[in-house]
Amino acid sequence: MYQPDLPEDEAPGTRFLLFPQSPFFESNPVPELVEVSAPPGSLGPGPSGPRMYTINAVGKTTPFGAIIDGPNGPGMYLPPWDGPVHPPAEPDEGGNFAYLDPSDPAFEAAHLFGSAHFTMDVWEGYFGRPIPWHFERDFERLELSLLPSLDNAHIGWGFLETGGTWEHGDEYRAYSLNFDVVAHEIGHAIIYSVIGMPAPEDTPGEYYGFHESAADMVALVAALHFGSVVEELLENTRGNLYSFNRLSRFAELSENAQIRMAANDKTLSQFECGWSSEHALSEPLTGAMFDIFVDIYHERLLVHDLISPEMEDLSDQLEDSPEYGEVMQEMFDARYAENPDGFRIALLEARDFLGSYLADAWSLLDAEMLSYLGVERALVQVDQDITDGAFRQIIEGNFRMREVGIVDVGPRLTEPDEHSHAVSTRTRVPD
């Protein structure tokens, strides 16, 4: 039986063990003990709770969201699964699931549930309210479904279904054990609820790029709520977040096995003549948000006297220079060694600024009118409301660097395929 070290002061939440990053990328991955908001004893076998439940089906071959023949003609295949199931993950005597060893067959179901619940907890904290499911007219709860035959992970009308991949030799890699993948899919559900579902014939292309970017930001900010991610990030970078690190690379392996960079140099001029992939179109917006996050982090370092104004200015000047790493890393090494705890506090402050700004800004947006320039304006408005415009120059400067408001995104160049959310199970709605 797996026995993690437990904190002395127990918070009123149900405990799970989660891998903050995919366990398949490390030789000896160690899950982290976390607590979700559900009080101990409130979650049942599965796990299952008031907002979501996990099903590990036996003999299920068709993914949810597919169009199948029914008694009344073709229709969407939707939850609930009513066939046989594998033994569910059971809570221990205290109502927790942290006793499950990663080698236990029930661990995967618990990890999927814990990852989805943890992500919702983080973002409902930033929104300051419960986030209803976008499918609530038909389903009260989200069915979390394990389907090993599915080489994908997708959220849809009442379900979040995860499969896995065999493309790395003979090892099966379950997407349910990749926190980033699960959090990314929960991010799509949050955006559908807050901003609205798209109407494919009228929705601007930037809506789909925004959706991918927002889902990535949901995953990135949620990952920064793992203590091990924060500590390893700072130890590896010595506080220099522009170095190549765990935060700026995160995988959505469900469709194309690519690793996208949050820290990137993509601009909208690359899409002026048109676009084909919303994943690619999302990168300028994601890059702008990552740069805003790092700039706010630098401002918090200044507030706490952890770096000097001259050091921040030099970082800005050398940002796109090949000399950046050699010059700036030495400075960050020295400063970080003087006060690691101060750097951690500044990072958490920047994380919470970003999370709260995004939640407030997304609440001002609408699917039918969405544009990257509209995202910028919403962020500027939120900044004015919260800090009287303290970060306005940072926000506007980073959006200009990505040519938002300068270059118009061209039309979709190819018809949506199975990789596009415009025609995927994520946006498919019954009737």
Which DSSP string do the residues of 206-257 spell out, in sequence order? HHHHHHHHHHHHHHHHHHTTSHHHHHHHHHHHTT-TTSS-STTEEEETTTS-
pLDDT tier for residue 248 given thresholds of 50, 70 and 90: low
Instruction: Let me know: does 232 contact 395? Beta carbons within 8 Å.
Output: no
Q: Say whether pLDDT at 418 is over 70.
A: no
Tens digits of residue pLDDT in 332-379:
999 999 999 999 999 999 999 999 999 999 999 998 889 999 999 999
Q: What is the pLDDT of residue 73?
A: 82
Q: What angle do CA 244, 176, 170 make, to 5 degrees?
A: 85
Share of the chain above pLDDT 70, in %: 90
- Number of DSSP helices (H) and strands (E) in the chain, helices first: 10, 12
Q: Say whether pLDDT at 140 is over 50.
A: yes
Q: The pTM is what?
A: 0.92
DSSP state of 318: H
Q: Say whether pLDDT at 318 is over 90.
A: no
pLDDT tier for residue 205 given thresholds of 50, 70 and 90: confident
Average pLDDT over residues 109-131: 98
Mean pLDDT over all residues of the chain?
88
Q: What is the pLDDT of residue 244?
A: 55
DSSP state of 275: B
pLDDT tier for residue 72 given thresholds of 50, 70 and 90: confident
In the chain, what are the domains?
14-195 (3.10.170.10), 209-401 (no CATH)
pLDDT tier for residue 184 given thresholds of 50, 70 and 90: very high
Average pLDDT over residues 289-314: 92
